[in-house]
Amino acid sequence: METFTHSPPLAAFATDALAGRPVLVVGAGQAASDEASLVGNGRAISLALARCGAVVHCADRGPAAAHATVAAIEASGGQARPIVADVSDPASCRRLVDEATQGGPLHALVLNVGISDRRPLPDITPESWDSILQVNLRAHMLCAQAALPRMQSGGAIVFISSLAARMAAGRNPAYETSKAALSALCRAVALEGHARGIRANIVAAGLVDTPMGRAASQARPERGRMPLPFGRQATGWDIAAAVVFLVSDAGQYVNAIELPVDGGLGQGIALAPHATS
């Protein structure tokens, strides 16, 4: 297995809870980074699902990003295949679900894709607003809409949202709005999926030390200096562990919830940086 900056809690994922089950992760790559060992949420989620035995369809707009996730899964003995698709295009959303379901219905769909332009309100244009909402919201609806009729009963959909859905997060209204809207979309998908035995839930991440997270902290150094629970940011593995629970049978009566993975930050729990070390 590849070595990552934050070691994955391998024991937590060493199960066959998802053996042979096909899952689709949208946004399964990660932003380019000088630090090759830093893991993004989509890659950690894909690796964790594969470690639990799932056959992972890794969709990303970046061919190199999608292939790198597949290579990391295969190197650890798992099964995966890449799908290159830009979900800002509605036809691509439908096509990637078609590709992922060629071999049969899906057990799970994880919608991890998310972008941000950090434009404060005065700088937003109709075009910039639409470009964020197309990827962070419309694509989630289109992928869920296409996938639902092609999922196994007992399956699950997970949306990756953010604490920014309910807290001002540094003058980023398009991103915050897109994440807040996922709450209503998740409820609608859960309602629609219920009759088919399919659940839908949200993982609401706090600050996560991913390549994208580090870039955000470089752009706004105060982000990296925030007092945090346990004196650290989350890692992709923390997010992955929540996803594994929600898509596995262990979570079979958990539906239409938002599971915060923020160390308690959203509840006001915070320590000075590194106070626990």
Q: Which of residues 98-137 bind ligand NAD (CB under 6 A)?
A: 112-115, 135
Residue 229 interacting with ligand NAD (CB under 6 A): no
- By C-beta, is 58 or 148 nearer to ligand NAD? 58
Closest CA to 89 of 146, 27, 142, 26: 142
Residue 162 interacting with ligand NAD (CB under 6 A): yes
Q: How many CA atoms, within 13 angstroms, populate the side-chain half-sphere of residue 161?
A: 30
Q: Which stretch binds ligand NAD (CB under 6 A): 61-69, 71-79, 181-189, 269-277?
A: 61-69
Residue 146 interacting with ligand NAD (CB under 6 A): no
Is 253 an active-site residue? Answer: no
Q: Among residues 4, 8, 23, 30, which is the contact residue for ligand NAD, using CB under 6 A?
A: 30
Residue nearest ligand NAD by beta-carbon distance: 114
Residue 42 interacting with ligand NAD (CB under 6 A): yes
Count Cβ atoms within 10 A of the Cβ of residue 249 and give its class: 0-12 exposed, 13-18 middle, 19 or more buried: exposed
Question: Residue 192: which region, alpha, beta or left (left: phi > 0; alpha: psi -120 to 50)?
Answer: alpha
* DSSP annotation of 75: H
Q: Considering the complex, what minimum distance in angstroms separates the CB of residue 132 from ligand NAD?
A: 10
Secondary structure E strands in the chain: 22-26, 55-60, 79-84, 106-111, 151-162, 199-205, 258-261
Residue 49 interacting with ligand NAD (CB under 6 A): no
- By C-beta, is 14 or 184 nearer to ligand NAD? 184
Active site amino acids: 175
